[in-house]
Amino acid sequence: MNNIEKRLGILIGILRKKKLKAGDPAFKQQSFIESSVGFPFFGLKSGYSVCSLATLSRLENGKHAHDFALLDFFLKKLGIHYRIKESLLEKESNFLQKLSLCFTSQSKYELKKQAELCDHFYQSNLNDALIEVDYEAFTFVYNCMVNHPLSRKTYDQLVEQIEVFHPLIKDWLLGCGSLLRIIHPDFWTLPQTMTIPDFIQQLRIDHYLRQNNLFSNKTEASHLTNYHEDCLAVTVLNAFSFVSQNSDDPKGIFAEEMNLCIKLAVGIPNIKNGHSLLFEALKYFNSIQDSDLKLQYFNERLVGLLNHEPEPQRITKLLSQRILPICKETKTYKPLIQIVELLSENRKINRTSQPQES
C-alpha cells in the first residue's frame, strides 16, 4: 500500500478522535462515514454511508488498501483539501537524509546550515497536511539536539501520532526519548523501549542503554573513525560517557537541566532558570525556611519526582546530606525511610507515574 495513503489514513483517525473528544458529535464513526449535501460522495445519495465502520477502522489504523476518493472525502470533512504530491515528499526525504548524514559526518556548523535549510523547506510547504505534522516533530527533535527547553507534554502528544510521521523523523523522535529518559528529569518516567532506535545505535550509545557500560569519552572517541571530530554525534556521545562515569557534574549538550537540578540539590542558587518539574520543586524546597514544612514538602512532592530517578541517583544522594541534619533537629525520621527506599537497589523503578505538566 502507498505509504502516503497509509499515513493520511492514520492522520484522519487522530484528527477525527480529537474533534470527537472536543465534543462534536459529527465526528462519531457513524456520522463521519455518512455523505451529506455539504460533503457529497460521487454516485451516492445524501445520508448514505460511504463505507462500513470496519473499513473506517482499518483506514484509521493504516491497514486498509483504500483509494484516494475515500481519503479525500474524510479529509475534507476535517477541513483538509489534500492533493498527493509525491515529488514534495521526496524532497523532504532528501533534506532529512542530508541532515542525518551531517549529524555524524559534518561539523556542527554544517549541521546548523542544513537544519536551517530543512526548516525553510518545511515553513514553505505547511499547506501540506503531512509536511505540517512532520514539522511539529522535526521542531521538537531539533530543539532537543541544540538543548533548547523541552516539554514532556509536547513529546507525549507527538508520540500519540507517531505513525503519521516520516520514518526518519519517527526514529529520531524515539531516539530523543531514549536520550532524554536518562538525562532530563521530566522524561525519567518514559518506559524503556524494547527496540533501540537507529538514531541511538548511530551514536553507539546502545552499550549504555543495554549494559549501562560506556567506554570513557577518550577511548570511545578514538573508535569514531567515521565521525567528524566536531560533529554533534561526538558531543552527545561524550555527554553520555560522563553520565556513565557516575559524575556529579555531568557535561555536554544534554546535561544542562541535570546540572541545574544538582546545584539546587546541594543548595546552590542558580543564575539560569531550569524548565523541569524537578527544577521548580527543588527551587521551592530551598526557599522553605521552616524545618517541619521543608521535610513535609520533601515527603509529599520531591519523593514522587525522585522515585523514577535513574542510576546513579545523584540528586537523591545530595539531598540526603541536607535532610539528615534536619531530621536530627526535628527528631523526624520518616524522610530517612523514604531516602533509604529511593536509594535501594531493589526499588521498583516504574511503580507510579510522575506528575505531568498542567
Q: Characterise 313 by phi-psi region: left (phi > 0), alpha (psi -120 to 50), beta (else).
A: left
**pLDDT tens digits, one per residue of 149-207:** 889 999 999 999 999 999 999 999 998 888 888 788 999 998 877 677 777 777 765 55
How many Cβ atoms from other residues are within 10 Å of residue 296's Cβ? 15
What integer pLDDT is reported at residue 140 of this predicted model?
Answer: 95
- Reported as a pLDDT band with limits 50, 70 and 90, residue 236 is confident
**pLDDT of 215 strictly over 80:** no
DSSP state of 238: H
Residue, of 220 and 301, whose pLDDT is higher: 301
Counting every residue written for the chain, the total comes to 358
Give residue limits of the domains in the chain.
Answer: 3-77, 87-244, 258-343
Long-range (24+ apart) CB contacts under 8 A made by 284-293 are 291/326, 291/329, 291/330, 292/330, 292/332
* Whether residue 26 has pLDDT greater than 80: yes
CA distances from 173 to 115, 140, 160, 198, 210 (A): 16, 8, 12, 11, 19
Q: Give the rounded percent of residues in the chain with a pLDDT score beyond 70.
A: 82
